[in-house]
Structure 1
Amino acid sequence: MFGKKKEEPKDEAGDEENKEEEGAKEGEAGDAGGAPSVGEMKRGDYMIHVFVEKAKDIKVPDGGTVDPIVEVTGLGQKQYTSAKDNIGGMGEVLWSEHLFLEPKNVEKQAAEEGKIEIKLQDKGWMKNALIGQFEFDLSYIYFMKDHLLLHQWLALSNPNSENYSEITGYIKVSISVVATGDEQVQ
């Protein structure tokens, strides 16, 4: 009884954790130019394709109209749709316009932290006034099936307004985010 050392029971969960840690270390030791792990963005060139379909229920001043224009920003680049004239609040605005952002040599961290901002603005003579906006993490779209968000209505709000939680309109978009070497959906 005292002469033999008692064997400790094997902790199978601990063995699994050790295997996972070893696997992670092996992955870290791999070549830096290899394919990214699942759930990682790539370093390189990106193409952000935003199809601005339409907007509806735009908040306008009482009895007034707006001249809506859409601004899309991502990874330091910006594009605009054409402006529409004299749209009332309950009307629907049709754009059916494709906007392309093509940032080059994007670092992995910048891609992982990148945002896509969609802003609906009232085009002004000197400056556009924000009606509402919606923001995505670039990675949210990138990790969707086929790197694609298809025909989605987004509720817009104005974070600069007094009632920032109020919905100020809806916009329907499709967004694709691809990096060099990714398969693109047509």
Structure 2
Amino acid sequence: MTFFILYRLGNEIEQGGVGDKVDASGAGDAGVRGSAGKGTEINEKDTLDDELGAGKRKKKLSGLAVRPQYSTKKQDFQIRVKVIEARQLQGANISPICKITCWKESKDTRVRNSTNSPFWDQTFFFNFFDSAAEMLDQQLVFTVYDSRRLRRDSMIGSFKFDLSIVYECDRHAMLNKWLLLCNPEDPMSGAKGYLKISVIMKVGESDEKEDIEGNLLRPAGVQLRPAIFKILLYMAEDLPRMDSDAFKGIKNLLSTTDEVKEFVDPYALVSFAGKSVSC
């Protein structure tokens, strides 16, 4: 009975797609292919829907849609958002502006007058101090408006997704991805355009652990004063047993000497200015 319930839940998740990870306002891959076939240069492989399709769906099936456990320790987070451009925005004689909302803060791009393919190339920074468990549960929302309208129907389209998606990307970076803009109040209205963005998440502790000396480039002609450090290591005490008792018999069998050794083979590693010496 338990296996049957899990199988039914897995099918429902697979049929639902990405689910709560990405909210494309009800538009699927059909909207992407339908609009991309009209002479556009947008690559479907660079759309956020395609990137989060099969991989995220398999991950949810294996984990049964259980969110990963993040740390509750508070630390610094910086979300760097670059709004590059938009294409094929719906509307006649529009002057688009893009609004970026990251948790508690919102920022706007400049207005581009009388164009359906605005180019912004603007970067925004959002700084927060909170735990990863709280931070990665928030959403990043992109909304494109027509600045010439003051009514509620001035919105052209929007797209939103969880910050945990950026965090789980390689190097916490999502670069040059196209977002399929849709109307969240009318999901059946289809695609409203495309928005190209890049998002990078920077965690505060990363810079402190970075090895500056090991990745240092010096200009030509600069001479460094040589220095020699002499380090004396005398002894170590109370070292723990690093091997389990299960491998004791195998080690004794493969040993060529009658001497019985302890379970630990210690060595010391000394690092300074990008160089390491073991002894």
Give me the TM-score of the superposition, normalised by structure 2: 0.46
Counterpart for residue 243 of structure 2: none
CA distance in 1, matches of 2:174, 2:187: 31
SS in 2 for 1:84: coil
% of aligned pairs identical? 23
CA distance in 2, matches of 1:149, 1:126: 33
1:119 equivalenced with 2:149 (yes/no): no
Which of 118, 125, 136 pairs up with 1:100?
125
Amino acid in the other structure paired with 1:157: C
8 A Cα contact 1:117 1:136, kept in partner: yes
Question: Residues 32-43 of structure 1: matches in 2 within 5 Å?
Answer: 40=70, 43=74
CA distance in 2, matches of 1:107, 1:101: 15
Which of 107, 110, 113 pairs up with 1:82?
110
1:58 equivalenced with 2:89 (yes/no): yes
Gaps of 5+ in 1: 1-37
The structure, 1 or 2, with the larger RCO (C-alpha pairs under 8 Å, 6+ apart) is 1
Could you say if the C-alpha distance between residues 39 and 149 of structure 1 is closer, same or farther in structure 2, counting changes exceeding 3 Å?
farther
Kindly state the Cα deviation for residue 182 of structure 1 after the two structures are TM-superposed.
2.8
Counterpart for residue 147 of structure 1: 172
8 A Cα contact 1:79 1:101, kept in partner: no
Kindly state the Cα deviation for residue 56 of structure 1 after the two structures are TM-superposed.
0.3
Bigger strand share:
1
CA distance in 2, matches of 1:146, 1:109: 18
Gaps of 5+ in 2: 1-67, 208-279
Counterpart for residue 174 of structure 1: 198
SS in 1 for 2:118: strand
8 A Cα contact 2:70 2:133, kept in partner: no
Which of 153, 156, 163 pairs up with 2:181?
156
Amino acid in the other structure paired with 1:113: D
After superposing the two structures, state which structure 1 stretch, 38-47 or 79-88, moved more.
38-47
Cα deviations by residue, 1:32-86 (Å, 9 ceiling, x for unpaired): xxxxxx86256322111111111001011xxx21111111111201111101111
Kindly state the Cα deviation for residue 102 of structure 1 after the two structures are TM-superposed.
1.3
Look at both structures and tell me which one has the larger radius of gyration over its CA atoms: 2
1:47 equivalenced with 2:47 (yes/no): no
Amino acid in the other structure paired with 1:50: V
CA distance in 2, matches of 1:162, 1:146: 33
Amino acid in the other structure paired with 2:192: T
Amino acid in the other structure paired with 2:82: F
After superposing the two structures, state which structure 1 stretch, 106-115 or 151-160, moved more.
106-115
Could you say if the C-alpha distance between residues 172 and 162 of structure 1 is closer, same or farther in structure 2, counting changes exceeding 3 Å?
closer
Kindly state the Cα deviation for residue 110 of structure 1 after the two structures are TM-superposed.
2.2
Bigger helix share:
2
Could you say if the C-alpha distance between residues 114 and 126 of structure 1 is closer, same or farther in structure 2, counting changes exceeding 3 Å?
same
Kindly state the Cα deviation for residue 133 of structure 1 after the two structures are TM-superposed.
0.9
8 A Cα contact 1:113 1:137, kept in partner: yes
Give me the TM-score of the superposition, normalised by structure 1: 0.67
Report the number of matched residues: 138
Could you say if the C-alpha distance between residues 106 and 124 of structure 1 is closer, same or farther in structure 2, counting changes exceeding 3 Å?
farther
Kindly state the Cα deviation for residue 146 of structure 1 after the two structures are TM-superposed.
0.8
CA distance in 2, matches of 1:121, 1:55: 12
Counterpart for residue 238 of structure 2: none
